[in-house]
Copies of this chain bind each other. A is one copy, B any other.
Amino acid sequence: MKITALEIAEKHNGTVEGDENILLTSLAKIQDAKKGSLSFLGHPKYNSFILSTKASAVLVSENFKIKNSEETTLIRVKDPYGTFNSLLIEKSNQKEKDNTGIHHTAIIDFSAEIASDVFIGPYVVIGAKTKIYSGVHIHSHCHIGSDINIGKDTLLHPRVSLMDKTEIGERCILNSGSIVGSEGFGFVKKNRENIKTPHLGKVIVKNDVEIGANTTIDRATLGATIIHDGVKLDNLVQIAHNVEIGSNTVIAAQSGIAGSTKIGENCLIGGQVGIIGHLVLGDNIQIQGQSGIINNIPNGTKIQGTPGFDFKSFYKSYALFKKFPDFESRLRKLEKK
């Protein structure tokens, strides 16, 4: 990266205080910045670093006040962190875009359709009738089965498995080790044996979805497991067969959703949450980490506990749970009277 303070200010509707022409060559946190770095102030508790930082320029808010005179150039913008983040995105996207071509060790079925400007890394395997659209990057050792679609500008890190018939939308990111379309976990009990329910369905992942490292998404029995636009799944998450997750819902690491449960839009689900099967959860729900959900949940509710219930009620009960021994002695005292 090579950009001046003025160029950043012009692009992001900002103003420069200090050396407009200073050349910025790296992005850094304010406490780690060096000469040439652009940094930012996003939270008041970091403000004092402005006096000691070695950053050549710092993004600050329009009304940020500074007491001492300063050597560092300031770039005033409306949203310093948002601006910094967009510069990070530009930098990381550029790196992927520079990288195209198909490695000679990739094994691609002759019936697959591959756009011309993709990257396909070493030892990738791509099955019959699969379609890879423009700008897709597939890194080493990925298994891409048959009858799969991967939409524009989607990025697969190394060692991803997409099982047959999976559909992946545009601008998705699949981290290393993630698996989309594994067999669902369903059985019919017959005497003592568990007879497998075959899973002939598939998984549909829509646009702008992110899937974490070693996360697993099972395909449907029949029909599809569906991950809607903008869903973000962290690492080691488990999504069972026939689950449906609404747009922009975020699920933190190691949470698991059992079969056929439907989750609404814009939910925030903490880490290590477990949700049993065949439930319906509304929109804008928040579930605290490690909670266990065994009932349907209406829109906009905040839940904690195993089994989970209203967040505030949980905390009231839990505060008293800690005081139990005290409770017990008060009760005993009364009984003696």
Residues of A within 8 A of B (CB): 27-29, 32, 81-82, 85, 88-89, 91-92, 105, 107, 121-123, 125, 139-141, 143, 157-159, 161, 163, 173, 175-177, 179, 182-183, 185, 187-188, 190, 192-200, 208, 210, 212-214, 216, 218, 221-223, 230, 232, 234-236, 238, 240, 247-248, 250, 252-254, 256, 258, 265-266, 271-272, 274, 276, 289-290, 292, 306-307, 309, 313, 316-318, 320-325, 327-328, 330-331, 334-335
Contacts and interface: CB of A to CB of B under 8 A. Distances in A.
A102 to B, nearest CB: 14
Contacts of A258: 252-253, 271
24 contacts: A28-B222, A85-B195, A88-B197, A89-B198, A92-B199, A123-B125, A141-B143, A177-B182, A177-B214, A185-B210, A212-B216, A214-B216, A234-B238, A238-B253, A238-B271, A253-B258, A258-B271, A271-B274, A272-B292, A290-B292, A307-B318, A317-B322, A320-B325, A330-B335
Contacts of A158: 125, 143, 161
Contact of A223 (B29, B82, B208, B216): B29
A265 to B, nearest CB: 8
B313 A322 contact: yes
Of the candidates A107, A140, A234, A316, the one having the most CB atoms from chain B within 10 angstroms of its own CB is A140
Contacts of A234: 185, 238
Nearest to A242: B29
Given A143-B139, A256-B271, A161 B183 contact: no
Given A105-B107, A176-B182, 12 more contacts: A27-B222, A85-B198, A89-B196, A92-B199, A122-B125, A123-B123, A143-B158, A177-B214, A179-B213, A179-B214, A185-B235, A334-B335
Given A125-B121, A163-B157, A177-B179, A213 B216 contact: yes
Contacts of A159: 141, 143, 159, 161, 179
A264 B37 CA distance: 31
Given A173-B183, A235-B185, A248-B192, A214 B214 contact: yes
Contacts of A266: 192
Lowest 6 CB-CB distances: which A-B pairs, in order? Answer: A182-B213, A143-B158, A92-B198, A213-B216, A88-B198, A161-B176
A235 B182 contact: yes
